[in-house]
Amino acid sequence: MTAVEQSLPEQNHQPKTIYLKDYQVPDYLVKTTDLRFEIYDGETIVSAMLDLYRNPAATTAATQLRLHGADLELISISLDDKVLTPADYEFGEESLTLFNTPETFKLLTITKIKPEANTSLEGLYRSRTMYCTQCEAEGFRKITYYLDRPDVMSEFTTTVVADKKYPVLLSNGNLLEQGELDNNRHYAIWHDPFKKPAYLFALVAGDLAHIEDSFTTCSGREVALKIFVEPKDLDKCDHAMTSLKNSMRWDEEVYGREYDLNIFMIVAVDDFNMGAMENKGLNIFNTSCVLAKPETTTDAGFQRVEGVVAHEYFHNWSGNRVTCRDWFQLSLKEGFTVYRDAEFSADMGSRTVKRVEGVTLLRTLQFAEDAGPMAHPIRPESYIEISNFYTMTVYEKGAEIIRMLATLLGKDNFRKGTDLYFDRHDGQAVTTEDFVAALADASGRDLTQFKRWYSQAGTPRLEVTDHYDEDAQEYRLTFKQSCPATPECQHKLPFHIPVAMGLLGSAGDLPLYLKDAEPDFETSDNTYKVLELTQAEQSFVFQRVQEKPVPSLLRGFSAPVKLHYHYSRADLVLLMSRDSDGFNRWEASQQLGLAAIYTAMQHYQQGGDLSGWVLDADLIEAYRSVLQDESLDQAMVAYMLSLPSEAYLSELAEVVDVEAIHYSRLAVRKALAHALRDEFVRIYNAYNHQQAYRVTADAIASRSLKNVALAYLILLNDETLIRACEQQYRTSNNMTDVMAALTQLVNSESSLGQGLAENALADFYQRWQHESLVVNQWLMVQASCSLPNTLAKVKALLEHPGFDGKNPNKIRALIASFCNSNAINFHANAGAGYQFLADQIIQLNRQNPQIASRLLTPLTKWKKYNSQQQTLMKAELERIMAEPQLSKDVFEVVSKSLA
């Protein structure tokens, strides 16, 4: 068997589970890593010179070295200049073991790889006209034999050699040297002085254009900033550059973190499995997360670029300078960095809006994950394929855990804690325990119980009851916490939960005199408190309460829990209009919306007709007052008027009734549109002025409110309004307004709307066919259309020249949008949607296992549907399971879903 055959990812046997409890330090470490890449058409020769030494911390004096390697063709291997023969080593699954290895030695391996044939987009691969890499988590082993684990940190020097048709040759660190070679070839040598794990390695070779700027750090060092793109995209880089400079400044100001190399580079790549990658000094980005200009990019797109640029930049400290000991610690860098980027975005735009968006994401997607077969704590105990654990839980819930720590410690102590963490562990590969220990040491707080958030999965439930004693003027709040069983843990111990709160009286916030605690007039006006829950049941008594208050609980969503308190409609209306906490004002609007939808659902489920559905007058008035409230940020008005999504309604349901959810929500929206038509028209007209496009929070807010009004108005099936929508499509100068109008036309139930939609879709493609990212939006709007017959259209689009089954962005835009954001169609037609998805997954399983595995998510939720749907979904999972050569990625998700 050849080396290549040996390392093929065959899965005829059960893939192995890796456990956190089995962690062992590496036997060998790598002092320096010298790489040379000779890139030729069709193949690349990689020479790796490793300076190895036995790890003094290893428990036994190892005389073998097991290197990772996959899909490599070994050409030669020498140890301290002696060429090794097959008797000196052995191939295993994804490994190469050397025998009789000395205390220290130099190992030179020469291997051949085929980037052009690499469709997994992991390791070194080709995307359109360029070569690029993606190594996290375990892709470096597809480049050369190596100790591909994050606790092996080494100093890298990289030589890239290629034909001059690839003028740009990049790698990590600072450029040491470049020059010409024979045969129209040239080279560049890069040196990264910071030791790093292999997952942070990067290389790019291509014919790229770039924009350039510079940043002067807080200590006065000048850093060159470069963004590399295909020449056609050079006009779409400015927003990313501005975002980068803002991020660099913010990390200095808020965390005291200065950038450390002479140069910081970003490269935009069209074929990329996720958003972006924080390789040291050379971030590689999905084009969708760098490129932005008003004509092609929506406001959401602009914000995503800002957020992802910041996220990857912040990793330079939270991830690169201090990295993870093993992949179970992933949330150490991801949760923390998501928290950092969310706070950055909050500082750049509107804090409340950012929080509403973050919580919406968490409560729809992460809560669903926590309640499904793939539930895991933010620090998992085991995995089969680590790529499957780049999850909402590790990222978003992980960020909530950091947010709770920040809340519990307070601003100053939290900063002391992060300073200590960075100082103490700079240059090390550490654990989440180390992170919490630094925060505990710096603040003097005992965080022992808090650490349960790292090891217990599931979303805690908080039941709150209260009692007002008018005579004693005392108000008692009682909290009961519990947490549902998850696959690996049946019984949970109580969590340490910060509950930020206030009490509302008829005239607004009341002062808080918590029994046995000091009132806080020094740092605040004493109307806000953080209660700390640590027991299964706990009460708090407030004194000098002169009227029965309405509690404002979990302000700013201070903990990732499901809160239950029985609010009356009047309570919610009060909170929605008067709470000093913007987040809870929005939350009250959502509770009101939920209740209205549930009423309609009950009617529908009892066989009732929803046409002409009307809402109670007081509810209408509550929404009307939001529209008229001048104190509110327009973006908040837009969010308060948007009803809870179908995805959130599904997450909340015990058994998801897809049709009831869809039609009831639609009926409530129509009822609101009828009742508030004049207000919506007023708002639409007030904000529908063609102005120069700006990406400020205010401008984004106005567009978003206007487009929410439009979305309601279109439901009235009124010819004038539909034509206004079409006019917005035709005349807008920015993609936000164009897409908003196109979406409404495509979803319009009227024949006029449908006719206009057809023309607009044709016009749109004609106009934007050469802009791949814009075509993706065109695919997405069609795949998300809730009208019947969408599956047939999606299938037809698979054959359209605007689709490319090898490009992850296209797969997400068409296939994932249909299966994740179009429940009414995905679950229709006796399982046709399920079968369609399973077919796609089977096709992608070998081509790109990571993408195949991601696509599985909607099928993993099969237990939440009715028995007929369950049977059909399960049958598709079983069909996938029966496939030969299932990738580890797909195997893990399918087998856990069926377990």
| Min separation Cβ 877 and ligand B3K, Å | 23
651 is a site residue for ligand B3K (CB under 6 A): no
- The answer to the question of residue 136 lying near ligand B3K (CB under 6 A) is yes
Strand stretches in 511-656, DSSP E: 513-514, 529-533, 537-543, 550-553, 562-564
Residue 421, contacted partner among ligand B3K, Zn ion, none, CB below 5-8 A by kind: none
Nearer to ligand B3K, 284 or 615 (CB): 284
Instruction: Please state, in angstroms and rounded to a whole number, the distance separating the CA atoms of residues 547 and 470.
Output: 7
User: What are the strands, taking DSSP E only, across 172-294?
Assistant: 174-181, 185-196, 203-206, 209-216, 222-229, 263-269, 276-277, 282-286
What is the number of other CB atoms lying within 10 angstroms of the CB of residue 476? 16
Stretch that binds ligand B3K, among 35-43, 87-95, 169-177, 310-318 (CB under 6 A): 310-318
Residues 260-279 that bind ligand B3K (CB under 6 A): 274, 276-278
Neighbours of 59 (CB within 10 A): 9
Task: Give the pair of three-digit tokens for residue 418.
Answer: 């992060």
Comparing CB distances to Zn ion, the nearer of 255 and 598 is 255
- Nearer to Zn ion among residue 138 and residue 509 (C-beta): 138
Minimum separation from the CB atom of position 346 to ligand B3K (A): 19
CB 897 within 8 A of CB 396: no
565: number of Cβ within 10 Å: 17
Catalytic residues: 312
Shortest reach from residue 223's CB to Zn ion, in Å? 21
Tell the residue number behind the tokens 């690996």, with chain if given.
488
Angle between helices 330-348 and 351-361 (to 10 degrees): 140
Residue 212: CB minimum distance to ligand B3K, A: 24
State the nearest-atom distance from the C-beta of 435 to ligand B3K, in Å.
17
Answer for the pair 550, 584: CB distance below 8 angstroms, yes or no. Answer: no
Q: Which is nearer to ligand B3K, 137 or 735 (CB)?
A: 137
Instruction: Choose which of 94, 233, 299, 312 interacts with ligand B3K (CB under 6 A).
Output: 312
Residue 268 Cβ vs Zn ion, minimum distance, rounded to whole Å: 17
Q: Tell the burial category of 692 from Cβ atoms under 10 Å away from its Cβ (0-12, 13-18, 19+).
A: exposed
Of the pair 334, 771, the CB lying nearest Zn ion is at 334
Residues 521/546, Cβ–Cβ less than 8 Å? no
Between CA 509 and CA 507 the distance in angstroms is 7
Residues 673-732 that bind ligand B3K (CB under 6 A): none
Stretch that binds Zn ion, among 66-74, 326-334, 454-462, 691-699 (CB under 5 A): 326-334
CB of 386 to Zn ion, least distance (A): 14
Counting every residue written for the chain, the total comes to 899
264: Cβ contacts below 8 Å, ≥ 6 apart: 215, 223, 224, 225, 226, 244, 248, 281, 283, 313
Which CB sits closer to Zn ion, 311 or 703?
Answer: 311
Is 277 or 447 the residue whose CB approaches Zn ion more closely? 277
- The Cα–Cα gap between 682 and 670 comes to 18
Pairwise CA distance, residues 384 & 551, whole Å: 45
Closest chain position to ligand B3K (CB): 136
Residue 778: which of 788, 766, 789, 787 has the closest Cα?
766
Cis peptide before 224 (omega within 30 of 0): no
Contact between 15 and 385 under an 8 Å Cβ cutoff? The reply is yes
Using CB under 6 A as the criterion, what x/- string covers residues 393-422 for binding ligand B3K?
------------------------------
Count interface residues toward ligand B3K (CB under 6 A): 12
Minimum CB separation from ligand B3K for residue 869, in Å?
31
Binding partner at 137 among Zn ion, ligand B3K, none, C-beta below 5 to 8 Å by kind: ligand B3K
Nearest to Zn ion of 244, 794 (CB atom): 244
Q: State yes or no: residue 390 binds ligand B3K (CB under 6 A).
A: yes
Residues contacting Zn ion: total by CB under 5 A: 2
Q: Where are the alpha helices (DSSP H) in 237-361?
A: 238-255, 299-314, 330-348, 351-361
CB of 428 to ligand B3K, least distance (A): 18
Site for Zn ion in 780-839 (CB under 5 A): none
Instruction: Name which of 332 and 785 has its Cβ closer to ligand B3K.
Output: 332
Binding flag, residue 34, ligand B3K (CB under 6 A): no
C-alpha angle with apex 405: 404 to 411, nearest 5 degrees?
A: 105
Nearest Cα to 674, choosing from 664, 662, 686, 666? 666
334-353 positions binding Zn ion, by CB under 5 A: 334, 337
**For 168, which DSSP code?**
E
Q: Using CB under 5 A, which of the segments 183-191, 331-339, 510-518, 535-543 binds Zn ion?
A: 331-339
Taking CB under 5 A as the binding criterion, the range among 22-30, 81-89, 332-340, 759-767 that sits at the site for Zn ion is 332-340
Cα separation, 176 vs 701, whole angstroms: 47
Of 165-173, 268-276, 333-341, 501-509, the segment contacting Zn ion by CB under 5 A is 333-341
Q: How far is the CB of 793 from ligand B3K (least distance, A)?
A: 31
Q: Return the beta strands (E) in 343-460 as ranges.
A: 382-383, 429-430
Of 445 and 846, the one with the shorter C-beta distance to ligand B3K is 846
406 interacts with, out of ligand B3K, Zn ion, none, CB within 5 to 8 A per kind:
none
292 binds, among ligand B3K, Zn ion, none (CB under 5 to 8 A by kind): none
137 binding ligand B3K? (CB under 6 A)? yes
User: Residues 301, 302, 307, CA angle at the centre, nearest 5°?
Assistant: 95
Q: Give contact residues for Zn ion (rule: CB under 5 A).
A: 334, 337
Q: Give contact residues for ligand B3K (rule: CB under 6 A).
A: 136-137, 274, 276-278, 311-312, 315, 334, 387, 390
